[in-house]
């Protein structure tokens, strides 16, 4: 089984839309997104533009669907789709549950609500080397003090936990995590406290917005963020997307669900390879490829060879 993975905020880097494969399907996707949003999405990947969560989130969805469509143009359709955080919107489009245009508009609204709620002073930190239980134990002593509290935002791997909170709280927590044995405790390139109760009101507003968005049953497997299981009902996928800014993303569980369903090839859409690295470490028997690591337009040929049995794990 072939699964496409779509990264979330933190994967972006300046110019990443301009590093997409030079293919007609990619160009058409960029043009379509520009028409839907009434702006040139090719300008969303500058260093200045990427300071905005709105630009980052929209650009990541555009990049994910551009790659999905590039592979589809070569006759390569993924059997399953999963995305981390905002990447879940690209996964919903790829699975056929949501139109690209509606996803773009919903993601733009998502970014607006998040930025309005916390225009500055908040973000995320990645903690590597501690388990979820160990991170929870470090959070508990300060949980009753709002200015110092952090929240578990993502469980990306058994020992890769992302926490959300104010800048001051994150800096203090990074020091505590390092003292407790974390290999790394580092702020991420995210300017909002994603996936925690701080975004409850913003999530409620997005739920109301999504009421009028058309969802349908997926034509391929969609793995949700919140419960990390395959979702089939349109209402469940709508809820998963509209509320994922408020709840912990259980990415490792989602990855495990793909493997349990028989995934033998994982491809991470641009621009990063964090999801690829997690998959390779946790499931070395499964081939995981990062689209961003292939120059020009080689990925489609590599995936095709792998799916037809002509590409070995050692290649």
Which is it for strands 230-231 and 184-187: parallel, antiparallel or unpaired? unpaired
CATH code assigned at 70: 3.40.366.10
**Which helix (H) or strand (E) segment is 4 a member of?**
strand 2-6
CA distance readout (Å), 143 to 36, 86, 198:
43, 27, 13
- 153 within 8 A of 170, measured Cβ to Cβ: no
**DSSP-derived 3-state class of residue 68:** helix
Q: Which of 170, 190, 210 is the last residue in one of the domains?
A: 190
How many CB atoms sit inside 10 A of residue 233's CB? Answer: 12
Q: Specify burial of residue 120 (Cβ count, 10 A radius: 0-12, 13-18, 19+).
A: exposed
**Which helix (H) or strand (E) segment is 81 a member of?**
strand 80-83
Return the pLDDT at 106.
Answer: 98
Domain housing 177:
122-190
**Residue pLDDT tens, the chain, 315 long:** 999 999 999 899 999 999 999 999 999 999 999 999 999 999 999 999 999 999 999 999 999 999 999 999 999 999 999 999 999 999 999 999 999 999 999 999 999 999 999 988 999 999 999 999 999 999 988 776 767 889 999 999 999 999 999 999 999 999 999 999 999 999 998 989 999 999 999 999 999 999 999 999 999 999 999 999 999 999 999 999 999 999 999 999 999 999 999 999 999 999 999 999 999 999 999 999 999 999 778 999 999 998 987 544 433
Is 172 among the domain residues? yes
CA angle 55, 56, 61 (to 5 degrees): 100
**DSSP-derived 3-state class of residue 202:** helix
Q: Which of 190, 213, 230 is the last residue in one of the domains?
A: 190
CATH code assigned at 153: 3.30.70.250
Same domain for 111 and 126, yes or no, is no
Q: Which residues are catalytic?
A: 85, 195
- 73 within 8 A of 25, measured Cβ to Cβ: yes
Phi, psi of 55 (to 5 degrees): -60, -45
**Which helix (H) or strand (E) segment is 259 a member of?**
helix 251-260
Same domain for 151 and 265, yes or no, is no
Q: Scanning the structure block, which residue is given the tokens 């089939």? A: 232
Alpha helices in 9-131 (DSSP H): 24-37, 53-73, 87-94, 100-117
Same domain for 274 and 166, yes or no, is no
CA angle 80, 97, 65 (to 5 degrees): 65
Helices 234-243, 87-94: axis angle to 10 degrees equals: 160
Distance of CA 56 to the CA centre of its chain: 11
The count of domains in the chain is 2
Return the pLDDT at 146.
Answer: 67
Same domain for 228 and 151, yes or no, is no
Provide CB contacts within 8 A for 23, sequence distance 6+: 70, 73, 297
Is 264 among the domain residues? yes
Return the pLDDT at 315.
Answer: 37
Q: Scanning the structure block, which residue is given the tokens 């993924």? A: 78
Of residues 293, 222, 291, the one with CA closest to residue 261? 222
Q: Scanning the structure block, which residue is given the tokens 């020091």? A: 175
């Amino acid at each position: 089984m072939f699964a496409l993975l779509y990264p979330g905020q933190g994967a972006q880097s300046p110019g990443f839309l301009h590093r997409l494969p030079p293919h007609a399907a990619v160009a058409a996707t960029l043009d379509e997104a520009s028409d839907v949003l009434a702006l040139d999405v090719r300008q969303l990947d500058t260093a200045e533009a990427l300071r905005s969560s709105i630009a980052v989130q929209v650009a990541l969805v555009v990049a994910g669907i551009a790659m999905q469509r590039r592979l589809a143009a070569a006759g390569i359709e993924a059997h399953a789709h999963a995305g981390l955080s905002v990447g879940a919107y690209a996964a919903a489009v790829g699975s056929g549950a949501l139109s690209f245009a509606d996803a773009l508009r919903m993601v733009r609204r998502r970014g607006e609500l998040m930025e309005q709620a916390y225009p500055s002073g908040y973000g995320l930190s990645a903690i590597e080397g501690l388990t979820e239980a160990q991170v929870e134990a470090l959070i508990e002593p300060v949980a009753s003090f709002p200015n110092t509290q952090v929240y578990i935002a993502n469980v990306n791997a058994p020992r890769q936990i992302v926490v959300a909170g104010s800048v001051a709280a994150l800096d203090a927590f990074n020091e505590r995590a390092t003292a407790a044995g974390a290999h790394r405790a580092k702020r991420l390139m995210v300017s909002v406290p994603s996936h925690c109760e701080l975004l409850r009101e913003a999530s409620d507003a997005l739920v109301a917005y999504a009421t009028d968005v058309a969802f349908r049953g997926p034509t391929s497997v969609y793995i949700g963020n919140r419960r990390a299981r395959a979702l089939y009902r349109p209402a469940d996928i709508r809820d998963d997307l509209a509320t994922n800014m408020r709840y912990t993303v259980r990415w490792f569980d989602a990855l495990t669900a793909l493997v349990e369903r028989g995934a033998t090839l994982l491809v991470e859409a641009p621009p990063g390879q964090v999801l690829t690295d997690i998959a390779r470490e946790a499931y070395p028997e499964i081939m995981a490829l990062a689209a961003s690591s292939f120059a020009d337009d080689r990925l489609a040929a590599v995936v095709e060879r792998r799916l037809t049995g002509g590409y070995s794990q050692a290649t």
